[in-house]
Amino acid sequence: MRINLTSVLVDDQDKALRFYTEVLGFQKKTEVPVGEHRWLTVVSPDDPDGTELLLEPDAHPAAKPFKQALVDDGIPYTSFAVDDVQAEFERLRGLGVTFTQQPVAMGPVTTAVLDDTCGNLIQIAQHHG
């Protein structure tokens, strides 16, 4: 068994697509109309056939309170692996990305937490050794 799809709840699919592709560097994989929304996925350009991230509309009534509770408590919705957290932090900060946690070393991992502009906190993580 393996993970082939995961999702992040977003408040605006167009805004999310711009942020996740133009800022974070993912590439669009799938875009299929589904009623008033789209089945919209992105992937890592390093692994275009790997795990897809669904930019899922947060239209369900439970989604917005759930997302807000996580943000209020400073809890990231998900985590993305990077090779160098400090370099990625500097690159993204240079693009205007807001971070709620600057890079912090925690044993075998260094993490930072960013605001994805779509209602989520996202962790970036570098595993050492």
Which residue in the block uniquely carries the two structure tokens 């993204």?
92
pLDDT tens digits, 79-123: 999 999 999 999 999 999 999 999 999 999 999 999 999 999 999
Q: What structural domains does the chain harbor?
A: 5-127 (3.10.180.10)
In what helix (H) or strand (E) does residue 13 lie, and over which residues does it extend? helix 13-18
pLDDT score for 129: 80
pTM: 0.95
Give the span between the Cα atoms of 107 and 126, in whole angstroms.
11
